[in-house]
């Protein structure tokens, strides 16, 4: 396995905080996401590497193993145990491995990766060249991280979605009410297992950008609607957009600029609670008239002096 510098892929140094790693990943994921780079194989490759790097470095335990074992981070502890057992077997047979890896007999052309593979990979792989013992352990495949972009209206409806991960199509049903940054796990949809072990898992993080019409606060929504001065003073009707179409709202006389009213149950669906929704809070913005005629100005003067 060729060494991949995950820190370099994310564009951070080894002293980066977990928050630095998270920000770097989200920035690059938006840039390289397949939806934004259709039919771009290079972007697809980089996106896969990016997810792999994030899967390791965003997890403090995995990151510590990567810093210690490099590309062999997933099986590093097993490798050390196997190497210790190999040394004990060699000593029992009168051999001498010496200290550390430098004493191991790799043979012509066999490097660290080959030795590691001979211990943990393939049928019949034993402990180095010893005829005693076996290290044919099964290991879970690597987990995969992915981002899925949704707009606010998509996130408000239960719907199926199909996307591709590592050349495989995955179809999921997204429940109404998911929120920005929420992560779900699809068991067994990650990288293939090692030496017959189970597949890794797929972690999908939902990315829901800000909506131009609605601000989401939990399960509630906030929006603004403009009314003219005459409606604000005398009252009337105004049409308000919701996630499920428009409704007519009664404006009370003498409504002040910035006044907020609540439309119960017209907010965002509650996650995995069918039929339940938050509320919609509507704030009035009173627009003053412009280009008044002399007659209109005179009427305002009369109101002012009355």
- Nearest to 75, CA basis, from 144, 6, 139, 1: 139
Is residue 191 within 8 A of residue 142, CB to CB? The reply is yes
Spatial neighbors of 223 by CB under 8 A, at least 6 apart, are 213, 214, 215, 240, 241, 280, 281, 282, 283
pLDDT of residue 79: 58
Strands 245-251, 236-242: pairing kind: antiparallel
Which backbone phi and psi does 139 adopt, to 5 degrees?
A: -130, 145
pLDDT of residue 290: 87
Distances (CA, A) of 285 to 17, 39, 224, 239: 43, 46, 7, 13
The span from the CA of 302 to the CA of 306, in Å, is 6
Q: What is the DSSP string of 235-254?
A: -EEEEEEETTEEEEEEEPTT
The secondary element (H helix, E strand) that includes residue 173 is strand 168-174
**Looking at the predicted structure, is the pLDDT value of residue 118 above 60?**
no
The two tokens of residue 266 are 């017209």
At 129-160, the pLDDT tens digits run: 333 333 457 888 888 888 889 999 999 999 99
More confident residue, 303 or 110: 303
CB atoms within 10 A of CB 271: 14
At 60-92, the pLDDT tens digits run: 888 888 888 777 677 666 656 666 666 665 555
CA count, 13 A, side-chain hemisphere, 184? 13
Strands 260-263, 202-207: pairing kind: unpaired
pTM of this prediction exceeds 0.75 = no
The span from the CA of 164 to the CA of 29, in Å, is 15
Range in 2-6, 259-263, 274-278 the model is least confident about:
2-6
Spatial neighbors of 184 by CB under 8 A, at least 6 apart, are 203, 204, 206
User: Tokens 């995955």 appear where?
Assistant: 170
pLDDT of residue 193: 86
The secondary element (H helix, E strand) that includes residue 139 is none
CB atoms within 10 A of CB 13: 9
pLDDT of residue 2: 55
34: left (phi over 0), alpha (psi -120 to 50) or beta: alpha
At 161-210, the pLDDT tens digits run: 887 777 788 888 999 999 888 989 999 888 888 888 899 899 999 999 99
Q: Counting beta carbons within 10 angstroms of the beta carbon of residue 245, is it exposed (0 to 12), middle (13 to 18) or buried (19 or more)?
A: exposed
The span from the CA of 189 to the CA of 27, in Å, is 24
The span from the CA of 208 to the CA of 58, in Å, is 21
């Amino acid at each position: 396995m060729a060494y991949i510098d995950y820190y370099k892929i994310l564009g951070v140094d080894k002293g980066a905080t977990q928050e630095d790693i998270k920000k770097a990943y989200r920035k690059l994921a938006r840039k390289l996401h397949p939806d934004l780079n259709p039919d771009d194989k290079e972007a697809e490759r980089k996106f896969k590497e990016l997810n792999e790097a994030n899967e390791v470095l965003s997890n403090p335990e995995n990151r510590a193993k990567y810093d210690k074992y490099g590309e062999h981070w997933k099986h590093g502890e097993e490798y050390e145990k196997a190497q210790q057992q190999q040394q004990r077997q060699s000593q029992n047979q009168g051999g001498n491995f010496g200290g550390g890896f430098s004493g191991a007999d790799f043979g012509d052309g066999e490097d660290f990766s080959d030795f590691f593979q001979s211990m943990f990979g393939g049928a019949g792989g034993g402990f180095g060249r010893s005829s005693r013992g076996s290290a044919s352990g099964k290991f879970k495949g690597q987990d995969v991280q992915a981002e899925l972009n949704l707009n606010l209206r998509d996130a408000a409806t239960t719907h199926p979605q199909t996307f591709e991960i590592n050349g495989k199509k995955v179809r999921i049903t997204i429940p109404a009410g998911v929120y920005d940054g929420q992560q779900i796990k699809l068991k067994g949809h990650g990288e293939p297992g090692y030496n017959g072990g189970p597949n890794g898992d797929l972690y999908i993080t939902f990315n829901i950008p800000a909506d131009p019409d609605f601000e989401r606060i939990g399960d509630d929504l906030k929006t603004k609607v403009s009314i003219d001065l005459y409606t604000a003073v005398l009252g009337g009707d105004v049409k308000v957009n919701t996630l499920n179409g428009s409704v007519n709202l009664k404006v009370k006389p003498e409504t002040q600029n910035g006044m907020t009213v609540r439309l119960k149950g017209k907010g965002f669906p509650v996650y995995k609670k069918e039929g339940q929704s938050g509320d919609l809070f509507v704030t009035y913005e009173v627009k003053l008239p412009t280009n008044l005629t002399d007659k209109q100005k005179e009427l305002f003067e009369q109101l002012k002096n009355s």
